[in-house]
Structure 1
Amino acid sequence: MTPPPGCPAHIGASHASASRLYGPEAESDPYGLYERLRAEHGPVAPVLLHGDLPAWLVLGYRENLDVTRTPSRFSRDSRLWTPHREGRIQPDHPLAPITTWQPICVFTDGEQHERWRGAVNDSMARFDKRGIRRHVTECANDLVDQFCATGRADLVHQFAEHLPMMAMTQLLGMPEEYSHQLVNAARDMLRGTKTAVASNEFVQEKLRKLVARKRAQPGADLATWLLEHPSGLTDDEVQQHLRLVLIAAFETTATLIANTLKMVLTDVRFRASLAGGHMTLPDAVEQVLWDEPPFMAILGRWATQDTELAGQQIKAGDALILGLAAGNVDTVVRPDLDAPIHGNRAHLAFSGGAHECPGQDVGRAIAGTGIDALLLRLPDIALACEESDLDYRSAILSRHLIELPVKFTSRQPQASELTDFESPSAQPDVQHTKPPAPATSPGRTAPERPSWWRSIMKRKWLRRG
Structure 2
Amino acid sequence: MNDPMPPGTGRCPVAHGEGVTRLYGPDAATDPQRIYARLREEHGSVAPVLLEGDVPAWLVLGYRENRRVLDNPLQFSRDSRIWRDFLDGHVDTASPLMQMVGWRPDCVSQDGEPHRRLRGAVTDNLYAVAGRGIRRHATHHAARLVDAFAGTGRADLVTDFADYLPMLVLTRVFGLAEGEGRSLAESANLVLKGGADALEHNDRIMAILGELTARKRKEPGTDFTTGLIEHPAGLDDDEIVNHLRLVLITGSTMTSNLLARSLQMVLTDPAWLTGLVSGQVNLSAVVEEVMWNTPPLAVLPGRFATADQELGGCPVKEGDLLVLGLAAGNHDPEVRPDDDVSVQGNQSHLAFSAGPHECPAQNLGQAIIETAVDVLLHRLPGLRLAVPPEELSSTASTWESRLDSLPVEFTP
TM range (shorter): over 0.9
Structure 2: state its 5+ residue gaps: 7-12
Q: Which moved more, 1:193-202 or 1:175-184?
A: 175-184
1:48-91 Cα deviation digits (max 9, x unpaired) = 11121111111111111100011111000111112210223223
SS at match of 1:178: helix
Tell me, in whole angstroms, the C-alpha distance in 2 between the residues paired with 1:344 and 1:32.
Answer: 25
Cα offset for 1:270? Answer: 3.1
1:324-378 Cα deviation digits (max 9, x unpaired) = 1111111232222112222322111110000001101101111111111111111
Structure 1: state its 5+ residue gaps: 5-10, 411-465
Partner of 1:81: 83
Q: Percent identity?
A: 49
Choose the corresponding residue for 2:381, options 351, 370, 379.
379
Q: Which amino acid aligns with 1:283?
A: A
Cα offset for 1:14? Answer: 5.0
Partner of 1:362: 364
Q: Which moved more, 1:51-60 or 1:350-359?
A: 51-60
Partner of 2:238: 236
Choose the corresponding residue for 1:156, options 140, 154, 158.
158
Tell me, in whole angstroms, the C-alpha distance in 2 between the residues paired with 1:29 and 1:341.
Answer: 23
1:387-424 Cα deviation digits (max 9, x unpaired) = 222221210111101111111111xxxxxxxxxxxxxx
CA contact (8 A) 2:46 2:58 kept: yes
Q: Which structure has the bigger radius of gyration?
A: 1
Partner of 1:198: 200
CA contact (8 A) 2:77 2:111 kept: yes
Choose the corresponding residue for 1:45, options 19, 44, 47.
47
CA contact (8 A) 1:285 1:368 kept: no
Tell me, in whole angstroms, the C-alpha distance in 1 between the residues paired with 2:227 and 2:55.
Answer: 39
Q: Which amino acid aligns with 2:233?
A: S
Counterpart mapping for 1:270-309 below 5 A? 270-275=272-277, 277-309=279-311
CA contact (8 A) 2:16 2:49 kept: no
Q: 1:357 to 1:269 in 2, by over 3 A?
A: same
Counterpart mapping for 1:122-271 below 5 A? 122-129=124-131, 131-271=133-273
Q: 1:292 to 1:185 in 2, by over 3 A?
A: same
Choose the corresponding residue for 2:344, options 335, 342, 345.
342
SS at match of 1:51: coil
Q: 1:61 to 1:3 in 2, by over 3 A?
A: closer
Q: Which amino acid aligns with 2:153?
A: G
Tell me, in whole angstroms, the C-alpha distance in 1 between the residues paired with 2:259 and 2:56.
Answer: 33
CA contact (8 A) 1:15 1:46 kept: no
Q: Which amino acid aligns with 1:315?
A: K
Tell me, in whole angstroms, the C-alpha distance in 2 between the residues paired with 1:269 and 1:80.
Answer: 50
Q: Which amino acid aligns with 1:99?
A: V
Q: Which amino acid aligns with 1:306?
A: D
Q: TM-score, normalised by structure 1?
A: 0.84
CA contact (8 A) 1:279 1:342 kept: no
Q: Which amino acid aligns with 2:38?
A: R
Q: Which amino acid aligns with 2:156?
A: D
Q: Which amino acid aligns with 1:112?
A: P
CA contact (8 A) 1:297 1:398 kept: yes
Tell me, in whole angstroms, the C-alpha distance in 1 between the residues paired with 2:244 and 2:346.
Answer: 30
Cα offset for 1:315? Answer: 0.6
